[in-house]
């Protein structure tokens, strides 16, 4: 049985609608007002949470000239420009919660964890780059909060080691399949990896953090077991930013939320006949009917009986062959639905 996790009052698992995470991340480009607008727009689209990233750059990395594949400046310069102050993080969290949403954030250093603890986060989202950062995972796990872990770029062995850390501290957690390519080509999304995660870790909540264009792959992940769906989010695709090209906008977020809920409902239970279907069966099914006047003592044959709608008779079409060559005990008028007591 898959263990559900709980973030605040929100239960997450196979029994509940997918938990959608719109990742604002660094799409604000360090602009506090843009961050607030994205919160408002996510809320207006029906989001129940938003996620930020917490970058305290001096504790996160050394100064470097490494340029990410989806950027035109070094990761050092990008994070220096996009990082928010503690005061801004506090204010944004209050704003999110004032709107009745859950505030999530991804820490990239011990200092970031400390800041998020100080401002009172109720859960952590860990990025793929930290999946094998076991010292940081151990530090986060000591905080006793639920954790959602992305697994891009990491082997099953690395994921297993991370899970071992969480289990040792009895931390509630979920794992997300990710392809760390921006954007991810559909050929590289590898949705079947969700089934691999389910088989490898059968009692763990799984999900999909998706970097492909649009919502198609998220929708497809739901019947494969994805209970969490994460997408980068922006208010305006014309804004500048390394993650803007792979982000969904407010209309797409609304579609993702509504579509995911509809697909979850459509999964239903096992394929038994529903009571609602039985009402249709009354007119849709066929029953055995006399197609001629039949006298007492005659044998039933394809010349005098056949199957016709509606399905309100006693002998359904599936039993037609069983009653051929039976001898009638009474006279039967044409278009009469046959009953079992009419023949021997």
Residue 276 has pLDDT above 90, yes or no: no
Render pLDDT for 195-205 as a digit per residue (tens, 0 to 9).
Answer: 999 999 999 99
For residue range 162-205, list pLDDT tens digits in order: 999 999 999 999 999 999 999 999 999 999 999 999 999 999 99
What is the average pLDDT value for the chain, to the nearest integer?
96
30 within 8 A of 57, measured Cβ to Cβ: no
How confident is the model over 269-293, as a mean pLDDT? 90
In the chain, helix, strand, coil percent, each to 5? Answer: 40, 20, 40
pLDDT at 2 over 80: no
Instruction: Quote the pLDDT of residue 138.
Output: 98
Q: Which of 60-74, 111-125, 272-286 has the lowest mean pLDDT?
A: 272-286
Range 13-33 burial, b when 16+ CB lie within 10 A, else e: beeebbbbbbbbbbbbebeee
Q: What is the mean pLDDT of residues 232-245?
A: 97
User: What tens digit of pLDDT does each residue of 39-90 get?
Assistant: 999 999 999 999 999 999 999 999 999 999 999 899 999 999 999 999 999 9
**CA dist 219 → 20, 130, 201, 256, 257 (Å):** 11, 26, 22, 8, 10
What is the distance, to the nearest Å, from the Cα of residue 323 to the centroid of all Cα atoms in its chain? 51
- Whether residue 316 contacts residue 285, with contact meaning beta carbons closer than 8 Å, is answered with yes
Q: Which of 164, 174, 170 is nearest to 132 (CA)?
A: 164
pTM passes above 0.95: no
Which of 52, 50, 56 shows the shortest CA–CA distance to 112?
Answer: 56
Predicted pLDDT at 268: 87
Lookup: tokens for 231: 């997408």
Q: 24-51 pLDDT, tens per residue? A: 999 999 999 999 999 999 999 999 999 9
Strand runs (DSSP E) across the chain, as ranges? 5-7, 10-12, 19-25, 49-54, 102-107, 124-126, 147-150, 173-178, 205-209, 228-232, 287-290, 305-308
Higher-pLDDT residue of 172 and 273 is 172
Fold observed for domain 15-267: TIM Barrel (3.20.20)
Buried b / exposed e along 54-93 (16+ C-beta atoms within 10 A): bbbbeebeeeeeeeeeeeeebbbbbbeebbbeeebbebbb
Predicted confidence at residue 275, as pLDDT, reads 84
Task: Give the architecture-level CATH label for domain 275-342.
Answer: Alpha-Beta Complex (3.90)
- Evaluate if residue 225 carries a pLDDT over 80: yes
Residue 206 has pLDDT above 80, yes or no: yes
Q: What digits encode the pLDDT tens for the residues 282-322? A: 999 999 999 999 999 999 999 999 999 999 999 999 999 99
For residue 157, pLDDT beyond 80 = yes
Contact 315, 288 (CB under 8 A): yes
126-142 pLDDT tens trace: 999 999 999 999 999 99
Tokens of 336: 């009469």
For range 260-270, the mean pLDDT: 92
* pLDDT value at residue 193: 97
Rg (CA), the chain: 30
Separation between Cα atoms, residue 125 and residue 106, nearest integer Å? 5
Do 212 and 202 contact (CB within 8 A), yes or no?
no
> What gap in Å lies between CA 219 and CA 215, rounded to an integer?
6
- CA distance to 22, 101, 150, per residue, from 185 (Å): 20, 31, 18
pLDDT at 274 over 90: no
Residue ranges of the domains in the chain?
15-267, 275-342
According to the model, what pLDDT value does residue 273 have? 82
């Amino acid at each position: 049985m898959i263990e559900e996790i709980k973030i605040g009052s929100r239960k997450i698992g196979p029994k509940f609608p997918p938990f959608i995470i719109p990742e604002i991340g660094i799409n604000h480009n360090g602009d506090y007002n843009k961050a607030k607008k994205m919160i408002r727009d996510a809320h207006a689209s029906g989001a129940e949470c938003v996620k930020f990233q917490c970058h305290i750059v001096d504790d996160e990395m050394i100064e470097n000239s490494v340029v990410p594949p989806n950027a035109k400046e070094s990761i050092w310069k990008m994070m220096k420009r996009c990082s928010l102050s503690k005061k801004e993080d506090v204010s944004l969290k209050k704003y999110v919660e004032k709107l009745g949403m859950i505030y999530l954030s991804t820490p990239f250093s011990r200092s970031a964890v400390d800041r998020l603890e100080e401002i009172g986060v109720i859960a952590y989202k860990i990025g793929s780059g930290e999946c094998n950062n076991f010292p940081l995972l151990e530090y986060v796990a000591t905080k006793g909060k639920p954790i959602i872990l992305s697994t891009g770029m990491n082997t099953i062995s690395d994921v297993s080691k991370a899970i071992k850390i969480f289990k040792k501290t009895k931390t509630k957690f979920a794992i997300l399949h990710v392809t760390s390519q921006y954007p991810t080509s559909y050929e590289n999304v590898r949705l079947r990896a969700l089934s691999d995660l389910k088989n490898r870790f059968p009692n763990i909540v799984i999900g999909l953090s998706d970097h492909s264009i649009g919502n198609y792959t998220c929708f497809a992940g739901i019947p494969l077991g994805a209970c969490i769906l994460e997408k980068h989010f922006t208010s305006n695709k014309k804004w500048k930013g390394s993650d803007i090209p792979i982000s969904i906008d407010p209309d797409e977020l609304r579609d993702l939320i509504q579509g995911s809920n509809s697909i979850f409902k459509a999964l239903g239970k096992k394929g038994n006949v529903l009571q609602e279907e039985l009402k249709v069966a009354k007119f849709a099914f066929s029953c055995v009917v006399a197609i001629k006047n039949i006298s007492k003592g005659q044998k039933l044959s394809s010349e005098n009986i056949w199957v016709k709608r509606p399905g309100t008779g006693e002998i359904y079409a599936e039993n037609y062959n069983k009653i051929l060559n039976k001898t009638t005990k009474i006279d039967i008028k044409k278009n009469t639905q046959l009953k079992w007591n009419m023949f021997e």
